[in-house]
A and B are shown apart, each in its own frame.
Chain A
Amino acid sequence: MTVALELALVVFVVSTAVATAVLRDIVASIAVFAAFSLGISVIWLVLQAPDVALTEAAVGAGIMSVLLLVTVAKTARASDEGALVSVNPRALAAVGLLLLVLVSTVPALPEVGSEEAPALQKTVDGELTPYGYYVEEAYNETGVENSVTAVLVYYRGFDTFGEATVVFSAVVGVLVALGGSRRWGEE
């Protein structure tokens, strides 16, 4: 049952990604991309990552679609001939080569969900790994039940600080880029 659900989700996500790539109309592309984000956020739920699922649904499917649609509204909706883009054999060959290399490494990776996976070992040579530490000690040390929040704020606070810096820089960049925009300013 779970395997069937997982496979269905994976097929849905990959096919919406392909549809996003091949649709010529940009608004149709954006609509399918929103469906893709929604599918991915369900996958995050199945992978027991509710925090990531919430962020993806709000940011990926919500804010991202709005940003893309606003951009199209401010610029042009190109309406060329044909509903689908024509395949570029050289790009396809280059990407196919990369995929061949990547796929050949997949059987060597640990199976998803297996207890043998290196990321799921609590101790290595008698010492706690980060995973073991976050699961065993984080609650006693911080009193936060959700260990994602504990790690985000308590142990990796500098990451979050860096993230805030990136968001601030991006806002400054957007304002500078649009500050000289004639179309944007006159409305």
Chain B
Amino acid sequence: MTGIGLFAGHQYQIAFVLLVGVGLYTMIDAKNLVKKVIGLNIFQVGLFLFLVSSGYLAGAGPAIIDGEGRYVNPLPHVLILTAIVVGVSLTALALALIIRVYDEYGTLDEEHIQEVMDGD
């Protein structure tokens, strides 16, 4: 019971750890290149969750200022907005390169690509 109590109030940080793990595992293990890109995105979202939750204040409103009040920290939101757009740019570029790889090798499977390269 104390083991669980140690993690009370940390549910988002636990989710961050798990998402980073799932994303990393997908990037290492997935044979399909498109799947690796999805893994990269899951990894990113895990980090976003860690940063946004660090600026969260229980019972506070969003950082829209109207007089005195309690607000969450707007800075992580700003950084994550930028990071989401950069992440999409990165994904678009990676997918364009994957289409080129398919043109050259006729497969998206990591091991088949290696076989084709060795066969040349």
List chain A positions with a Cβ less than 8 A from chain B: 6-7, 10, 13-14, 17-18, 20-21, 26, 29-30, 33, 36-37, 40, 43-44, 47-52, 55-56, 59-60, 63-64, 67-68, 70-72, 74-76, 78, 85, 88, 91-92, 94-96, 98-99, 102-103, 106-107, 109-115, 117, 119-120, 130-131, 134-135, 138-139, 145-148, 150-152, 156, 159-160, 162-163, 166-167, 169-171, 173-174, 177-178, 180-184
Contact = CB atoms under 8 A, between A and B. Distances in A.
Nearest to A117: B54
Given A49-B62, A99-B17, A71 B42 contact: no
- B contact patch SS: helix
Interface of B: 6-15, 17-26, 28-30, 32, 34-35, 37-39, 41-42, 45, 48-49, 52-66, 71-82, 84-86, 88-93, 95-100, 102-103, 107-109
B12 A50 contact: no
A76 B38 contact: no
Contacts of A170: 89-90, 92-93
A75 B25 CA distance: 24
Given A68-B38, A94-B28, A99 B21 contact: yes
